[in-house]
Structure 1
Amino acid sequence: MGRDTAVDIGPCIRTELGESPLWSERRQRVFWVDTSGGFIHSLHPASGQTASWATPAPIGMLAESPAGGLIAAIGNSLAKISETGDLETVAHAPHGTPDTRLNDGVYDERGRLWIGLMHNDLEPGSGCLYCYTPDGQWHVMARGFTLINGMAWLQSCRELVVTESRPGALYRYEVDDPQRPLATPACMAQISPHLGYPDGLIRWRDDSFLSVLFDGAAIAEIDTACRQRRLISLPVSRPTSCVYVPALGRLFITSARLGLEQPSAQDGALIALDM
C-alpha cells in the first residue's frame, strides 16, 4: 500500500467533519463543508485564498447544478447559495424530521439530484434515496439504508453506485424511470471492516471508482468487476471524501477530527494528492 505525496493546503482550516469536496470550474475554486461545524469553505488553488460561510444547521452536501448554481443540503432542506454565501431555501425533504438530515448526493445529466436521507442516530434501515427533479418533485427511489453516503455514476449514467457505510457496501442500481422505485441492487463491492468504512465515492477511470475509507486512513480504487486495485494511504486517520481536478492533476481530500481523542495536526484538513 503506497502513499502518494500529500500536501496540506488548508493550514488555517480544520473541520470537525469535512465532507463533500467540489471543484467549480467556472469559479476556479474547491469548495468543501464542515458538516457538524456548520460551515462552507472554499479555496482558490492558484492564489491560496480561502473563504468561509456559516450555515444555520448541519450541512450534508454541496453540489453544482448543471446550470452552474451552487446548492447545499442543510438539515432536511435544499438551499441555493449566492456568490456571497447567502442561502435561499428551495425545498424540504418530505420525510424529514428533527432526527434526520440530508446527506451525500449527485446530479445526473438531466439535472436531477439524487440524494440520501439519514437518521442522526443511524437507526438501522431508516434512511432512503431520493431523486429530486427540476420541477420540484421528490421521488423515493430506495429505502432501507442506515448510513447512505457517496454516490457516482457509471459511464452511461444509467447505473448509479451508492455507498452504504454500514455495513460497508457499494450497491449498483439500474436507473430507468426516475419516478419509479429502483429495483433491488447488486452489491458491487463489500469493504472489509478492517480497512475502514466506505464514505465518499467518485468515478475515477472508465472502469473504476475511488472509495474513501473513513477510519482507514486510505482510499481504495475498486473496479466495476468488484476487484480492489490498490490502496492509497493518507496522512489523516479519518478521510471522508474526495474530488479530482484534472487541470491541476490533483485529488483534493476532506477529513475529520470528530471522535478522535488525540487528532494529529493534519486531521480535519483539506489535503491534496498529485495523481
Structure 2
Amino acid sequence: MIFASDLDRTLIYSKKAIGEAFEASELIPVELYQGEHISFMSPETARLLAELSKTALFVPVTTRTIEQYERIFYIRETFKPQYAVTSNGGNVLVNGVPDPDWQLHVNRALESSEEAGKVIEAFDRISSPDWVKSYRHSDSLFYSIILDREKMPLDQVEDFRKELAGMKWNVSVQGRKMYLVPDGVSKGAGLLYVKEQVGASRIAASGDSLLDESLLQAADYAIVPRHGEIYASYMEAGLYTFTERDGMGAAEDLIAKIAEWFALPPVDVVSPAEKTD
C-alpha cells in the first residue's frame, strides 16, 4: 500500500497558511531556509503519519525542486522516505538519488510539448513588472513565477492558459506563485512509476492544487483539503472527497481518513478519473 501526498498546504504549512486554530509555537518545525523555520506540521499530523507509515509506504509528492524538497529536514530525517516524487513528477528519488530510468522517460515525454523558450516568450507578452516579480526555470523542467496575486490580470491569464494548452503546457496559480508545466511532467505519472517499482496493490493520495489532479486520479482513494485550487474548482461537483477542516487541520483529517480506508478490506473502487467517464 502507498500513501502519496503533496506537501505544501497539504501536510506542511507556512505560518500564513496554518489557520486560526493553531499557534506556530505549538507546532513542529519541518523546513529550514536561510536560518529560519518556514514550514510546520502539527504534532497530531506527525503522530498520525508515523502510525500510517508502519503499514503503508509514505511517498512525498511535490512540485518543489530537489533542492527545495531537501530543505524539509523533518520528513527526510524522521520518515526517511524510500521514494519521493519531486519537480512536479520530473524526478523520482530513490533513497534521495534521482532514478536515471525515470529521467530518460521524462526526457522522451517532454518531446511532445513545445520547447520551454517559446513558452516563456509567450508569457512575456502578458508579463509586467506590476504583477510579475521573478521567475525561474526549475530543474530545467517547468517555470516557477513569483507574482502579486491581487494585480494579476485574470482575463489575460485565462487567455494565456488556452494558448498554452495548444502548446501542451498548463498553468497553475497557488498563492503568490504561478507554475507553467509541460504535459509530459506530472505527479501522477511519477507515482505510477513508483507503484510499479514496489508492486503496490493500493494507493491513497492527497493534494490541494490543480497540479495534484494527476496524483489524485492515479489513486484508488483520494482526499482533498478543504482549501486550495481543487476545492475552489470542484467543491460542488462531487468529484472528490474533502476534509472536514481547512488549514492545518485538514492534514490531520486526511491522514485519519486514509488510515480508515486502508483498514477496510480491498474492494472494487472507483478512482476520480473513472468518475468523470
What TM-score, normalized by structure 2, do the two folds share? 0.31
Please say which structure displays the higher CA radius of gyration: 2
Greater share of residues in helix:
2
